[in-house]
Structure 1
Amino acid sequence: MRVIGYLRVSTITQEHGLDAQRASITAEAKRRGWQVEWIEDAGKSGKDIDRPGITAALAMLKAREADALVVAKLDRLSRSLADFARLLESAAKQGWSVVALDLGIDTTTPTGKLVANVMAAVAQWERETIGLRTKEALAAAKAKGVHVGRPQGQDPAVVRRIRRWRKAGMTYRTIADRLNADAVVLPGGGAKWHPNSVRTICARMARI
């Protein structure tokens, strides 16, 4: 099986951390007969997945140039449960697997899939809770007479994020969930992003 061994450290002075991660993945690859292609993000935070290395890895997986994404520790991939759940969703739809050695997450096995599904369910609960809080906050603001504006166009930075995520293989729903989690305001001032909202912006980008 062809796998991407993904490595990450938060600062470039933590090179020993890359070596330790590489050693863990190498040992597992030898045991299971994997062919590993290495991708790393040195000096990159794990607060989100907007990183050059992981973006390249996701593009390779979408193109079926590899069969699985492997990390020594889950927090090397992402510290956000919501982001991890979105990666699992992309993996399921595109036909590749995710392996996090430290937590026994391995979607090539029934037990590993169970662990991943539990984490995805928790992330879904988290997203729904955030959505409810957002609606309540908007309602409270309106009750106090605060005007909730309706911007005429979307922030260019948000458009760039959407374009980058689509190129990485994220679905419209996954992008919408992420924008909601980040409390990004809709162009029309709505309370929540939906897949069709993202699709509309992508259609506009295609016409530019």
Structure 2
Amino acid sequence: MGMRVGYARVSSSGQKLDLQMDRLSDCDRIYHEKASAASAKGRPELQKALDFVRDEDVFVVTKLDRLARSVVDLAGIVQKLEIKKVDLVVLDQGIDTTTMYGRLQFNILAAIGEFERELIKERSMEGRIKAIARGVKFGAKPKLTKQEIADLIRDFEEPGCSKTEISEHYGISRSSVYRLYAENRS
């Protein structure tokens, strides 16, 4: 049997960890922090805990909202736990993936999360298509004007003109010099 690893978090410095720490007292190791980050990336102690757990450990939190700030964030954390073969226990919601019923309950939550991610992706794509139809340009704005590109092509074709000097003059990389020349020569 592995270790029970707890994680506690409060959002602001005015809040106290005491209640969560008491509830996690049966854990072999507890990670805790004061962080209100929207994703796991902004919570270093959570990252340390997720890196620490291993096969047959049980990861314990008091509430899901202490672990994840969104369904997408939760799905990423759960995926890490599944890859490492670590079970999850959420005390207040009664989720316990060490049991058959807990796994069922959690898989239902995960399926809902996956459905929500697909909806978000679909809506984003629809919005992107509509924006393109309205003429919105995506991606980085071109660094050079049409006149500067014409001048670059002229410089490129000038015998003895260094491509490095051209790139430095226009403030772009050498590979961009070659790409712009290939795309715009006529």
Query: Normalising to structure 2: TM-score of the pair?
Result: 0.69
RMSD: 2.0
- Rounded to whole Å, the distance in 2 between the matches of 1:65 and 1:3 is 11
| 1:36 aligns to 2:28 (yes or no) | yes
Identity %: 37
Task: State whether residues 99 and 106 of structure 1, in contact with CA within 8 Å, keep that contact through their aligned partners in structure 2.
Answer: yes
State the partner residue of 1:10: 11
Evaluate the alpha carbon distance shift between residue 19 and residue 81 of structure 1 in structure 2; reply closer, same or farther with a 3 A threshold.
Answer: same
State the partner residue of 2:108: 118
| 1:23 aligns to 2:15 (yes or no) | no
- Rounded to whole Å, the distance in 1 between the matches of 2:82 and 2:21 is 25
- Rounded to whole Å, the distance in 1 between the matches of 2:98 and 2:37 is 24
Match of 1:60 among 52, 59, 71: 52
For residue 92 of structure 1, report the CA deviation from its aligned partner. 1.7
Higher RCO structure, 1 or 2 (CA under 8 Å, sep 6+): 1
Task: State whether residues 5 and 58 of structure 2, in contact with CA within 8 Å, keep that contact through their aligned partners in structure 1.
Answer: yes
State the partner residue of 1:70: 60
Tell me the secondary structure at the aligned position of residue 102 of structure 2.
helix
- Residue by residue over 1:141-186, the C-alpha shift from the partner in whole angstroms, topping out at 9 and shown as x without a partner, is 111111222689xxxxxxxxxxxxxxxxxxxxxxxxxxxxxxxxxx
Tell me the secondary structure at the aligned position of residue 52 of structure 2.
helix
Of residues 84-93 and 104-113 in structure 1, the stretch that sits farther from structure 2 once superposed is: 84-93
Tell me the secondary structure at the aligned position of residue 95 of structure 1.
coil
- Rounded to whole Å, the distance in 1 between the matches of 2:92 and 2:141 is 45
State the partner residue of 2:154: none
Runs (5+) with no aligned partner, structure 1: 30-34, 153-208
- Rounded to whole Å, the distance in 2 between the matches of 1:114 and 1:151 is 48
- Rounded to whole Å, the distance in 1 between the matches of 2:56 and 2:82 is 14
User: Which 4+ residue blocks in structure 1 deviate beyond 3 angstroms?
Assistant: none
Query: Normalising to structure 1: TM-score of the pair?
Result: 0.62
Match of 1:129 among 98, 104, 119: 119
Tell me the secondary structure at the aligned position of residue 128 of structure 1.
helix
Letter in 2 for 1:53: E
- Rounded to whole Å, the distance in 1 between the matches of 2:131 and 2:84 is 41
Give the total of aligned pairs: 140
- Residue by residue over 1:5-30, the C-alpha shift from the partner in whole angstroms, topping out at 9 and shown as x without a partner, is 11111112212xx111111122xx3x
Letter in 1 for 2:6: G
Letter in 2 for 1:122: I
For residue 79 of structure 1, report the CA deviation from its aligned partner. 2.5
Task: State whether residues 106 and 113 of structure 1, in contact with CA within 8 Å, keep that contact through their aligned partners in structure 2.
Answer: yes
Letter in 2 for 1:20: L
| 1:149 aligns to 2:150 (yes or no) | no
Tell me the secondary structure at the aligned position of residue 114 of structure 2.
helix
Tell me the secondary structure at the aligned position of residue 4 of structure 2.
strand
State the partner residue of 1:192: none
Q: Greater CA radius of gyration, 1 or 2?
A: 2
For residue 86 of structure 1, report the CA deviation from its aligned partner. 2.1
Runs (5+) with no aligned partner, structure 2: 143-186
